Structure 1
């Protein structure tokens, strides 16, 4: 099956399959302890089919070829953390082509342990996704998604090779454009801040294009979000307004409809 691939690897038996099924993937087959799922993405902007492969053992020979997204499930333990992260590092460095990198686990209440895991995630460009919401979580104050919803959101944001964009007429509503603005204002920094600075030229180029096509804009959405993540709140809001304006114009909307 020649489809873009997402790999889910778990150090806890059953978690990889649980995540695959929780995002809505349908089981296809199992061979040599690798369970294959078909995931049909159908959101407001595009449709796509993804082959999701679930493996429950990190030491198993992993199908790392042509993987676009990697989701690791691991519950870190303080007394074994260095050894555990060393093992995960080997996996992370073997998947140089994967663009979506997620480290999922239960909520980490131990602050020093969480800091170490976050440091590792930042170094290897993973986003930490805790499957339960903690009391002081950023999700409470900024409206960010967490757990399975965040995993789905991150995967939906990726530009899969077989994306089929939906017709503009299906999306030309002001409320949907407002959602794009909200995403920018609530964005979390998931990559190395130095990398986001390199996106400035991309953002400036798109914002200055009077005839930008919706498909082209969508193709650059993640680059723009990465750039916005490095900005302070007030500047991030300004970028959000610029992006909303560009999307609205590309969909043929009247600028008067989205002005305050």
Structure 2
């Protein structure tokens, strides 16, 4: 490990990677996440925290983030705490003790950080686990976590075909790519409406992390009744609102039958296209 001389790295957005299991370390989690996309050598962030630089390069934007492995559940500097925009926690539902550790970490995260993206990661989850699947799903809904299984016992082929990767590190990367990082830089070819939405969300990241989804919905409803709000501003609000509710959409979909889930997914897709001022639905953001 080398101490980085680049002070700018300390202030870039952070992803906190936490393992609550002895079966996989935080650094193992990071290595799997960043396999083939960055150097495995960590930079020194601050005492007891190693950071791995990740230069994201998506179709529509670029952003530099750091994926951090804390050695202990300690109080970081205020600067580091403010930089955390996403959290990944790994555990095994087969161990109630590890679930207790997850809950302890979440209390610490709630006290010290304000991440927009919160992912709870496990190998798989079934009803016979020490933490039964239904209990785990309810816990994720209550705590606004997205559950990601690395190797699920059952894979819904229809969901995979329609919505893309729903499990594994492919899903984790997709969730992180979908986040509007506070330092993202839009590419020139990005559609105007999407550029406007992402630029506005990035510039107001800190404000948005302090507002709940309910507040966003209420504010949008009130503003929508004001005649002076232009069409483009309403599109930005709708786009940000939909992004803030992605975890709710996923949780709702998991309670539906295959036919109901497909219809529900189509409705959500139409809402996203409408938020970008495009009703054609002929193109895909993931092309």
Does the alignment reach a TM-score above 0.5? yes
SS of the residue 2:92 aligns to = coil
The 1:213–1:196 alpha-carbon spacing in structure 2 relative to 1, beyond 3 Å, is closer
SS of the residue 1:65 aligns to = helix
2:14 is matched with 5
Query: What is the rounded CA distance, in whole Å, between the counterparts of 2:119 and 2:86 in structure 1?
Result: 8
Unaligned runs of 5+ in 2: 1-8, 193-211, 254-259
Query: Does residue 129 of the first structure (1) align with residue 129 of the second (2)?
Result: no
Query: What is the rounded CA distance, in whole Å, between the counterparts of 2:249 and 2:186 in structure 1?
Result: 24
Q: Is the 8 A contact 2:213 2:245 kept in 1?
A: no
What's the CA shift string for 1:231-251, capped at 9, x where partnerless?
Answer: 8754652452243245254xx
State the 1:36 CA deviation. Answer: 0.9
2:25 is matched with 15
State the 1:48 CA deviation. Answer: 0.6
2:50 is matched with 35
State the 1:107 CA deviation. Answer: 1.0
Q: How do 1:61-140 and structure 2 match up within 5 A? A: 61=74, 63=76, 65-66=81-82, 67-78=84-95, 80=97, 83-111=100-128, 113=131, 114-135=133-154, 137=155, 139-140=156-157
Q: Is the 8 A contact 2:42 2:51 kept in 1?
A: yes
Query: What is the rounded CA distance, in whole Å, between the counterparts of 1:197 and 1:227 in structure 2?
Result: 15
What's the CA shift string for 1:215-256, capped at 9, x where partnerless?
Answer: 77755550364676668754652452243245254xxxxx67
Q: CA RMSD in A?
A: 3.9
Query: What is the rounded CA distance, in whole Å, between the counterparts of 1:51 and 1:121 in structure 2?
Result: 25
Q: Give the number of aligned pairs.
A: 227
The 1:28–1:215 alpha-carbon spacing in structure 2 relative to 1, beyond 3 Å, is farther
2:195 is matched with none
TM-score (norm 1): 0.68
TM-score (norm 2): 0.63
Unaligned runs of 5+ in 1: 173-193, 250-254
